Amino acid sequence: MSATSPEQMHAISADTRHTVEDVLEYARRRALYENVPLDKPMSPRDLERLASASITAEGIGARRAIALFENVLAPACVSTDHPGYLSFIPSAPSKASLAFDVVVSASAIYGGSWMEGAGAVYAENEVLHWLAREFGLAPGAGGVFVQGGTVGNLSALVTARDAARRRAIHDGRPAPARWVVVCSAEAHSSIASAAAVMDVDVVTAPVDHAGRLRGDAVARVLDEHGDAVFAVVATAGTTNFGIVDDIAGVGAVARERGVWFHVDGAYGLAAMLVERMRPLFVGVELADSVIVDPHKWLFAPFDACALIYREPELALPAHTQKAEYLDTLTGKPDWNPSDLAVQLTRRARGLPLWFSLATHGTQQYRDTIEYGIDLARRIADEIAGRDGLSLVRDPQLSVVVFRRDGWRLADYEAWSAKLLDEQQAFVVPSSHAGEPVLRLAIISPLTTFELLTGILDTLA
Tens digits of per-residue pLDDT, 315-374? 999 999 887 667 676 766 567 999 999 998 999 999 999 999 999 999 999 999 999 999
- Is the pLDDT assigned to residue 53 strictly greater than 50? yes
Mean pLDDT, range 122-132, rounded to an integer? 98
The answer to whether the CB of 402 falls within 8 A of the CB of 392 is: yes
Give the model's confidence band at 1: pLDDT under 50 very low, under 70 low, under 90 confident, else very high.
very low
Residue 212: name the closest of 233, 234, 181, 240 by CA.
234
At 39 the pLDDT is 96
pLDDT tens-place string over residues 172-213? 999 999 999 999 999 999 999 999 999 999 999 999 999 999
Q: Are 391 and 400 in contact (CB under 8 A)?
A: yes
Q: Report the alpha-carbon distance of residue 430 to residue 379 in Å, rounded.
A: 18
**How many CB atoms within 10 Å of residue 421?**
9
pLDDT digits (tens, 9 = 90+) for 426-454: 999 999 999 999 999 999 999 999 999 99
Contact between 281 and 233 (Cβ < 8 Å): no
Cβ-proximal residues to 249 (8 Å cutoff; 6+ apart), any chain: 214, 215, 216, 218, 283
